[in-house]
Chain A
Amino acid sequence: MTQALSIQSITAHYGTTKVLEDLSLEVAEGELVSLLGASGCGKTTTLRLVAGFLEPTSGKIELGGKDLTRLPAHQRNIGLVFQNYALFPHLSVADNVGFGLKQRGISGDAKTKRVNAMLERVGLAPFGDRLPGALSGGQKQRVALARALVIEPPLLMFDEPLSNLDAKLRVDMRVEIRQLQRANGTTSVYVTHDQEEAFSISDRVAIMHAGRIMQLDTPETLYQRPANAFVARFVGFENLIPMTVVARGGAGVTAEAAGGVRLTLSQDQFGAIPDAFTLACRADGLAVTTSADGIPATLGLRTYLGRAYQYQCDTPAGHLTANGPLTRPLEIGAAAKLVPVPEQCTILAPE
Chain B
Amino acid sequence: MTRSIHPVLIALTVLVFIFLVGPLVIVLGAALSDTSYLTFPPQGLSLRWFENIFEIEAFRRTIVTSLEIAFLSTGIALVVGVPAAYALNRYRIQLPGWLSTLFILPVLVPELVLGFSLLKNVATQFHAPIFVSLVLGHSLLVLPYVVRVISASLAAFDFSIEEAAISLGSPRLKTFFTILLPNVRSGVIAAFILAFITSINDVSISIFLTGPGISTLPIQILAHMEQFFDPTVASVSVLLMGLTVAVMAAVERTLGLTFFAK
Contact = CB atoms under 8 A, between A and B. Distances in A.
A and B touch in the complex (CB under 8 A): yes
Interface string A59-98: 0000000000000110000000000000000000000000
Main secondary structure of the interface of B (DSSP, over half): loop
Contacts of A52: 2
Interface of B: 1-2, 4
Contacts of B4: 72
Contacts of A73: 2
A52 B2 CA distance: 8
A53 B4 CA distance: 12
Range for the number of chain A residues in contact with chain B: under 10
A53 B1 CA distance: 4
A55 interface: yes
Contacts of B2: 52-53, 55, 72-73
Nearest to B1: A53
Contacts of A53: 1-2
B1 to A, nearest CB: 5
Contacts of B1: 53-54
Nearest to A70: B2
A27 to B, nearest CB: 23
8 contacts: A52-B2, A53-B1, A53-B2, A54-B1, A55-B2, A72-B2, A72-B4, A73-B2
Nearest to A72: B2
A265 B140 CA distance: 85
Nearest 5 CB-CB pairs, A to B?
A53-B1, A72-B2, A73-B2, A55-B2, A52-B2
Given A53-B2, A72-B2, 6 more contacts: A52-B2, A53-B1, A54-B1, A55-B2, A72-B4, A73-B2
A72 B3 CA distance: 11
A53 B3 CA distance: 9
A72 B1 CA distance: 10
A159 to B, nearest CB: 15
Nearest to A55: B2
B3 to A, nearest CB: 10
A73 B3 CA distance: 11
A68 to B, nearest CB: 13
A138 to B, nearest CB: 29
B5 to A, nearest CB: 13
B25 to A, nearest CB: 33
A262 B4 CA distance: 65
A35 to B, nearest CB: 20
Nearest to A74: B2
A196 B4 CA distance: 40
A52 B1 CA distance: 8
B4 to A, nearest CB: 8
A338 to B, nearest CB: 46
A320 B196 CA distance: 66
Contacts of A54: 1
A223 to B, nearest CB: 37
A240 to B, nearest CB: 41
A54 to B, nearest CB: 8
B6 to A, nearest CB: 14
A54 B2 CA distance: 7
A183 B1 CA distance: 32
B121 to A, nearest CB: 46
A45 B190 CA distance: 38
